[in-house]
Structure formats: C-alpha cells, structure tokens
Structure 1
Amino acid sequence: MPASARAIDLTIAAARAASDRKAEDLVALDVSGQLVLTDAFLIASGTNERQVGAIVDAVEEALHGMGTAPVRREGKSQGRWVLLDFGDLVVHVQHAEDRGYYSLERLWKDCPVIPLPDDVLAGPVQA
C-alpha cells in the first residue's frame, strides 16, 4: 500500500519548509512497503550545524501549523543528524558530510521516490 495522502501532504510541507532554509539535496521516499512504523522519509542536508538546526526548526513550525507535532526528536543538540518522527513521516536532516557517509538513499534505494513540487526543488525564492 502506498504512502497515505496525509503522509504525502506532510512530506511536501516539510520539504517546502526545509527548502526555505536552503536545505540541499531534498529526497522524499515512500517507505510504506518496507516499514510498518511510517509511510515516508524526507532526507535533507545542511552545510553546517547551525543550518541543520534552522532546517529542523522550520520543519517543526510548518508541520505544527498543520496540527502535527513530532512524536520523537533525536540529535538536535549535536546538529549533525536530526531525526524528527511525525508518525506518518520521518524527517532526517543531516550535515552534508554525515549524509555522504551514511547514504540513506542507498539503503532505501528500493523504495519509490515521492515527487516534490518544482518550487521545492528550485530552492527559496529570492526577493
């Protein structure tokens, strides 16, 4: 069974918030066929610990606006790899160096990609 409509909506909102904080290499995966605990993963990179924290804050704020709070949060104090578990969606925000090392996309390569809107992939709008 593919990811729920709610999971996809949360994923797109989280990706948009991450993109607004200049997250890099956004990838959304439908992991519902592999995991029973969640429907989707969003993976994003930040170039430093401060940016990782800003991306996490933006994602939490955006999803809070949709009535969703994280069930669990891991790694925020270190700012290297932060995991936000929203139930239907798990967001991984990683320092670019750690992302290359752990290569989550390779581990979950058999899962379908959730397409993200062009405005998310293009990055933040410059004023």
Structure 2
Amino acid sequence: MSATESALSITRLAAQAASDKKGLDIVAFDVSEALAITDVFLIVSASNERQVGAIVDAVEERLIQQANLRPTRREGDRENRWVLLDYVDVVVHVQHSEERTLYSLERLWKDCPRIPLDLDEASAAEGEDEE
C-alpha cells in the first residue's frame, strides 16, 4: 500500500508553505509500508528557532485555509528546535538544522520511497516580496 492521494495533496501543500517561508532541504517519504500510523513524513530544516516557528505557523495556516485541516497534535514548539505537526496521514517535522543533522531522519527512512514535491520556486520568491 502506498500513500493516499489525500496524504500526497496535504504533503505538497505543507511543503509549498514551508518553501515559501524559506524552509531548507524539504523532503518527503512515503512511510505507509513501514508504519501503520501514518502515510507520509515531511521533513523541513530551518537555520534558527524563529524560522522554525515561522515555518510551522505557515504550514498550519496553509492547511487550515486550503484543506480545512488542523493538526491533531503539535509538539516541540516551546523550544522551536524540532516541531512535529501530526495530521494523522501526514506528519510534518520542522527541525533546526543542527537537530536535522543530529537525528538524521533521512537515514532512518532511506528505504522508503521519496515523494516528488514539485515546489513552485516562483511562489517562494513572491513570498519574499511580501515580507
């Protein structure tokens, strides 16, 4: 079994929101074969705690506005070093670059298929103009 179309759509919305807020090294893995609890892990890096918070807020806002979705769980936002947003079928990990290197989630899930995200760089550039 692979990730549902709904999970893929949510993943792409979240990834684009993260990209628009200058998220780094954005990757998604189809973990549906390996885990029974979710379909997709989306992993995003940020260079500082403030940016982690901004990316998390942007992802939440985009999914509320465009998919009428709120996370069932949000963890780690007190320190903003690694924030997890759980949307049941999709789990978004926004990590400070140091945590990303330390925990190396890509290495843990390297056997799972990567999901093409097709991020719109023009959208990200427009977001920069708005700030």
TM-score, scaled relative to structure 1: 0.95
Cα pair 1:22 1:123 within 8 Å, conserved? no
Q: How many pairs were matched up?
A: 126
Distance verdict in 2 for CA 1:89–1:123, change over 3 Å = same
Q: Which runs of 5+ in 1 are unaligned?
A: none
* Aligned 1:48-87 pairs, distance under 5 A: 48-65=48-65, 66-87=67-88
- 1:118 Cα shift? 4.1
Query: Runs of at least 4 residues of structure 1 off by over 2 A?
Result: none
The corresponding residue for 1:28 is 28
Q: Distance in 1 between matches of 2:18 and 2:119?
A: 14
Q: Percent identity?
A: 60
Distance verdict in 2 for CA 1:26–1:123, change over 3 Å = farther
- More helix per residue: 1 or 2? 2
The alignment's C-alpha RMSD in Å is 1.3
Q: Deviations over 1:36-75 (max 9, x none)?
A: 1110010000000000000000000011121111000000
- 1:93 Cα shift? 0.2
Cα pair 2:15 2:119 within 8 Å, conserved? no
The corresponding residue for 1:6 is 6
Q: Deviations over 1:79-107 (max 9, x none)?
A: 00000000110000000011001000000
Cα pair 1:39 1:88 within 8 Å, conserved? yes
Secondary structure at 2:10's aligned position in 1?
Answer: helix
Q: Which runs of 5+ in 2 are unaligned?
A: none
